[in-house]
């Protein structure tokens, strides 16, 4: 789980792009090589997300149509061509919640988006990315509960702590876990992943610095 999430964030952070403004229903499209089209499953994921108030708000706020394709690996990301790559066989409730996580990034702007501001240090950019990830993980956990998903997204002890505090403190619980060295308390090591990505973009000259 941890390796998959780290890989997903490195891909997703640089992949989300703006889409043309029109309806947000899943488009039927020819999926890129290596991905599978399944319009029925795509529609079910969106319908599940829309079946709960916070998910419905996300879909309504989406800046464009939801281009959803499926794969067996490297899922839970948005490609640079705007295609959401979701798990072809995973639990639909869990996948709908993950779709909500990705939509929040799309709506708010992907963490560590290119081009990077050359005047801002990687430490600052990564810190902002961790806040965005804490918010997105919090949303995903809430959506999983709304959709009655069984099983855990993160370590059970971390989730127990999350649900044991007032809602206003939940983002802080996830943020504190995410910023621990090594992704403490069962959280993925996203801070390291974002730091590596920022340094790589700097070395390539992205953002002019």
Position 147 in a domain: yes
- How confident is the model over 70-105, as pLDDT tens digits? 999 878 988 877 789 999 999 999 999 999 999 999
In a domain, 50, yes or no: yes
Q: What is the pLDDT of residue 30?
A: 81
Quick one: 84 and 181 in the same domain?
no
What is the count of structural domains for the chain?
2
Q: Is residue 196 part of a domain?
A: yes
Distance of CA 18 to the CA centre of its chain: 15
> Is 115 contained in some domain?
no
- Residues 9 and 81 reside in one and the same domain: yes
Residue that finishes a domain, picked among 108, 133, 159: 108
pLDDT at 22 over 50: no
Write out the residue range of the structural domain in which residue 133 sits.
122-208
Using 50, 70 and 90 to split pLDDT, how confident is the model at 128? Answer: very high
pLDDT band at 4 (very low <50, low <70, confident <90, very high): very low
Residue 117 domain-assigned (yes or no): no
HEC assignment per residue over 97-113: HHHHHHHHHHHHCCCCC
Domain boundary among 108, 138, 162: 108
- End residue of a domain, out of 108, 130, 149: 108
- Kindly report the number of other CB atoms within 10 A of residue 135's CB atom: 19
Q: Is residue 200 one of the residues assigned to a domain? A: yes
User: What b-and-e string marks burial along 100-129, b requiring 16 or more CB atoms within 10 Å of the CB?
Assistant: bbbbbbbeeebbbbeebeeeeebeebbeeb
Q: Is 34 part of any domain?
A: yes
| 102 and 21 within one domain | yes
pLDDT at 123 over 80: yes
> Do 52 and 16 fall within a single domain?
yes
Q: Per-residue pLDDT tens for 110-119?
A: 888 878 888 8
Rounded Cα–Cα distance for residues 178 and 131 (Å): 9
Same domain, 183 and 160: yes
Tell me what pLDDT residue 113 has: 81
Judgement on whether residues 96 and 128 belong to the same structural domain of the protein: no
Q: Which residues pair with 77 in a beta bridge?
A: 85
Tell me: do 9 and 103 sit in the same domain.
yes
Minimal CA–CA distance to 207: which of 117, 128, 121?
Answer: 117
- Regarding whether 142 and 99 lie in a shared domain, the answer is no
């Amino acid at each position: 789980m941890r390796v998959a999430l780290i890989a997903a964030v490195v891909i997703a952070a640089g992949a989300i792009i703006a889409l043309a403004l029109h309806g947000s229903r899943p488009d039927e499209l020819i999926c890129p090589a290596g991905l599978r089209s399944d319009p029925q499953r795509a529609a079910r994921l969106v319908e599940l997300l829309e079946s709960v108030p916070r998910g419905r708000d996300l879909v309504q706020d989406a800046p464009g149509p939801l281009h959803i394709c499926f794969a067996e690996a490297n899922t839970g990301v948005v490609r640079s061509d705007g295609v959401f790559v979701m798990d072809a066989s995973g639990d639909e409730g869990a996948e709908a919640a993950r779709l909500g996580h990705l939509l929040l990034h799309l709506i708010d702007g992907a963490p560590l988006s290119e081009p990077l501001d050359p005047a801002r240090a990687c430490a600052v950019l990564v810190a902002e990315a961790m806040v965005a990830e804490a918010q997105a993980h919090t949303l995903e956990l809430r959506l999983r509960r709304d959709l009655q998903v069984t099983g855990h997204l993160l370590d059970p002890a971390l989730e127990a702590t999350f649900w044991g505090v007032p809602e206003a403190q939940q983002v802080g619980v996830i943020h504190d876990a995410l910023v621990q060295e090594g992704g403490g308390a069962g959280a993925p090591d996203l801070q390291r992943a974002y730091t590596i990505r920022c340094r790589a973009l700097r070395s390539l000259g992205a953002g002019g610095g």
